[in-house]
Structure 1
Amino acid sequence: MVVTLLPFVTLFVTALHPSGTYPSGLSWPSSPQWGNFGRAFTAANMGQLLWSSVLIVAGVVPISLLLGTMAGFAFGHLRMPGHRIVYLVVVLGLTLPFEGVITPLYYQVRDFGLLNTRWAIILPLIGLFMPFSVLWMRAHFVGMPGDLSEAAQVDGANTWQLFVRIHVPLARPAVSSLAILLFLWTWNQFLLAIVLVDDPAKRTMAGALGAFQGQWGTDIPLLCAGSLLILTPTLVVFLIFQRRFVAALLQGSVKG
């Protein structure tokens, strides 16, 4: 726990030093400069970046959840013909690192005319997140008892009603935890944001940190203050929803 918290404490203490100084070690300043956070918020145009990140998250997370949940249900519960082969192909997508596809992805996005738009981040992220989303949701649906579906089908439920009314409500812990992960990964997306979008105002907050660092890289306290401001939303979301996240991780570990 100490090892995990020490970098955050170091950032916080350094951000309180006078602007333009070079703090050495972990030392509390004699006169804490709380105004550095306000200066960093204004200098990095955090309000606009926050709105841009919200738009990107709103485009990525709901679509990824919908497609991942539907595909996971098909692979894990319906088990259509050939599902093992198709599922293997989907899982192979987990072996593709962002760094390995960024070059062909750049040319593809350019040919679509989406460079320097938020769609250049939203659409690739949906595709890149899909293998993990399918894997995560399949792990839930594959453990669901078939008796539930059989009872619902006896009552006249079709496949869509079976999915929406029976299995999706039971999958809320898995869906909510996947939503948290997708939110964190999208909010902290750095590589695609700086490669596919030139305008810092259209990037994620983490992607805009590169432009902020280039402008204020010599002002260490201000840079640390800006980094903490960018980290804050992800920490708040995780702390609020940590119970659901842990519940989904433990789901299926105890039976009976």
Structure 2
Amino acid sequence: MISGRERLLNYAVLTVFAVLAMVPLLGVVTSALTPAAQSSPSFTWPKSLDWGNFATAWNEGHFAAYLRSSVLVAVVVVLMTGVLAILAGFSFAHFTYPGRQLLFYVTLVGLMVPPEAFVIPLYFNLRGAGLTDSYWALILPQTAQSLAFGVFWMRNFFRSVPVSILEAARLDGASDWRILWRILVPVGRPALLTMAMLVFMWTWNEFLLPLVMITDENKRTAPLGLAFFQSEHTTQYSLLAAASIIVALPVVALYVFLQRHFIAGMLSGAVKG
């Protein structure tokens, strides 16, 4: 049982960390609302608020096209990773076949290899297949990168489900396919949403692959577009802050919307190793 003093100490520590996390965010928001004439690289409280910085950054930075590309790539990567991770995770968790453990550990190698190690040969491979400067040059590699985590995550969740539930379903005549999609997937909604959110965030924030694979301006993703916008507006700090908020807002909004499921999934997805 936690005493009142311990609870008070916990709240005090959490408050300190919350303030430390909010101060930089407050600085970015304040800078984005500062009129261009008052803009500076240091933290200053604006005399008036200029909401027009967001419209200017949106129009000059062509973020409508960039955000559309990012949404398309991220959604497809999440869907492909989710389906493949569910199937592979279920296989590794509840089927026995030769080489299962070895194949699982080989899959986990994807968690340990950084993109910088294979981006150059990957570029030549995709160029040989005629896929560079297309959305598939972003979707396929990022699906492969995310799949290692997705398989590990879903395998752990499926192993945490009591075996008695599966045995009862089999006694009722349910096939493995029916058990997976009618029982395990609905029960695993928090874990699935957590995985989807993490994969969406990683895909959305990816910078290296779009930089190497994409030359068409209309196919640039939001982080890549932000980098080009920054190079063109080096000293216009208000516009840079507004553009940064535009790029980060979808991920923040998704986290706020799925926060409860995210916390539940973090607790359920790592029950068993």
Correspondence for 2:224: 207
Instruction: Measure, in 1, the Cα distance between the counterparts of 2:234 and 2:95.
Output: 54
Runs of 5+ consecutive residues of structure 1 not aligned to the other structure: none
Residues 68-217 of structure 1 mapped to structure 2, 5 A cutoff: 68-217=85-234
Whether the 8 Å contact between 2:153 and 2:269 is mirrored in structure 1 is: no
Partner of 2:241: 224
Q: What CA distance in whole angstroms lies between the structure 1 residues aligned with 2:41 and 2:200?
A: 35
Contact 2:157 2:270 (8 Å CA) reproduced: no
Which deviations, in whole Å up to 9, do the C-alpha atoms of 1:69-103 show, x marking residues without a partner? Answer: 11011111224332111111111211101111111
The answer (yes or no) to whether the contact 1:60–1:125 under 8 Å persists in 2 is: yes
The TM-score, its normalising length taken from structure 1, stands at: 0.93
Give the letter for the 1:32 counterpart.
Answer: L
Mapped contact 2:29–2:242 kept (Cα < 8 A): yes
Equivalent residues in 2 for 1:41-52 (5 A)? Answer: 41-52=58-69
1:231 corresponds to which letter in structure 2? A
Matches of 2:43 and 2:254, distance apart in 1:
28
RMSD after superposition: 1.7
Which residue does 2:262 correspond to in 1? 245
- Give the total of aligned pairs: 254
- 1:67 correspondence with 2:84: yes
Q: Secondary structure at 1:117's aligned position in 2?
A: coil
Deviation at 1:20, TM superposition (A): 6.3
The AA in structure 1 aligned to 2:22 is: L
Superposed displacement of residue 22, structure 1: 4.9
| Corresponding letter in the other structure for 2:217 | P
CA contact (8 A) 1:200 1:211 kept: no
Pick which of 1-10 and 56-65 moved more.
1-10
State the TM-score, normalizing by the size of structure 2.
0.88
Distance change >3 Å, CA 237–CA 56, structure 1 → 2 = same
User: Deviation of residue 227 (structure 1)?
Assistant: 0.6
One-letter amino acid of the counterpart of residue 89, structure 2: G
Runs of 4+ in 1 over 6 A off after TM superposition: none
Residue in structure 1 matched with residue 42 of structure 2 by the alignment:
25
Question: Structure 2, unaligned stretches of length 5 or more?
Answer: 1-17
TM-superposed CA distance for 1:199, in Å, is: 2.2
Q: Shift of residue 145 of structure 1?
A: 1.7
Residue identity in the other structure for 2:185: V
